[in-house]
Amino acid sequence: MRRKKRLTAVPLIYFKNAKEILKKAEPDYEIGIYGNIKYVQEAFGTLWFAILKAIDYALTKKGIPEKDLPQDWEIYKSYISKYLTQKDGKLLKLANSLYKEIHIAGYYRGLLEDINRIKDIFKDAEKFIKKLM
């Protein structure tokens, strides 16, 4: 029981950490962008880890042993499709959209700097995480 409680808290801890890192990114509200992309990328990397931990938690609730959890996004997508997605596939579409925005554009390429857009992405990520918890 203790292990389950800890697994539940992990995604939200990473989410909170990502928000704290983002505060270091020197927001310039006058022009609406973050000034230090390094911290924006770091925040997105941490946010992506929160997403993965939420998916891991949801998969373990479905009976997937921790040792069998995916290690690659393509495998994550197949697991989401097989074990977590309802008939319409909306969860998989949302997960893939978050992957592109958070992991690719935000973290890997460092393309995101607009304060309002980043706030929206964080809100979408939080909804996704809570949906899986």
Count CB neighbours of 16 within 10 A. 12
In sequence order, which residues have a C-beta less than 8 Å from that of residue 12 and are 6 or more positions away? 50, 129, 133
* Amino acid at site 83: Y
CATH of domain 2-132: 1.20.120.330
Domains of the chain, residue spans: 2-132
Count CB neighbours of 55 within 10 A. 23
pLDDT exceeds cutoff 60 at 10: yes
* Amino acid at site 46: T
Q: Are the CB atoms for 6 and 38 separated by under 8 Å?
A: no
Q: 3: pLDDT confidence band, cut at 50, 70 and 90?
A: low
- Look up the pTM and report it: 0.91
Per-residue model confidence (pLDDT) at position 1: 43
Q: Give the integer Cα–Cα distance in Å for 92 and 78.
A: 9
Could you give the count of Cα atoms lying within 13 Å of 86 in the half-sphere of its Cβ?
6
Question: For residue 22, which of 86, 113, 109 has the smallest C-alpha distance?
Answer: 113
Q: What's the pLDDT tens digit per position in 76-130?
A: 999 999 999 866 688 999 999 999 999 999 999 999 999 999 999 999 999 999 9
Q: What's the pLDDT tens digit per position in 50-80?
A: 999 999 999 999 999 999 999 999 999 999 9
Sign of the Cα torsion 17, 25, 120, 103 reads negative
